[in-house]
Amino acid sequence: MTRTKRPAITLPIAEIPDGDHIYRMRDSVLEAILDTNLGAELLGTIVRDAWVSWAREQPRPKPGWLVPWSELSHTDQEADRRIGLAVARYVVETLIRVSYPQGARKP
């Protein structure tokens, strides 16, 4: 698959957010999307869907690998939630570092 490179978006220097603004923005995203029960639940189901999809591709998947989210134990659901949250936090942090390399540095 060939990816098309998107044109870079440039901002005038005066419009580049400062470090504090970037960290507030990051914290707002994490709070609004990732740190809510709804966000964690959604991320957990995404993790489980990806796992089940992978398991179906295996020659002899274990029956437990194919259990849907709604039938998982609370412990397994919590594990998937935590995986989803960890990945989402990493993505948000990385996007901010890449998007604002100068402003994202801690003062």
What is the tens place of the pLDDT at every residue in 74-89?
999 999 999 988 888 8
Domain boundary assignment for the chain: 35-107
Give the angle 9-11-17 at the CA atoms, nearest 5°.
115
Residue 100 banded pLDDT, cuts 50, 70, 90: low
Q: 78 versus 25: which is more confidently predicted?
A: 78
Identify the band that residue 58 occupies on the pLDDT scale cut at 50, 70 and 90.
Answer: very high
Structure tokens at 7: 């044109």
pTM of the predicted model over 0.75: no
Q: How many CB atoms lie within 10 A of CB 93?
A: 13
Q: Tell me the average pLDDT across 91-96.
A: 76
CA distance 46 to 49: 5
Q: Is the dihedral of CA 58, 63, 68, 73 positive or negative?
A: negative
Question: What residues have CB less than 8 Å from 47, skipping those under 6 apart?
Answer: 80, 81, 83, 84, 87
Is a pLDDT exceeding 60 seen at residue 24?
yes
Average pLDDT, the chain: 76
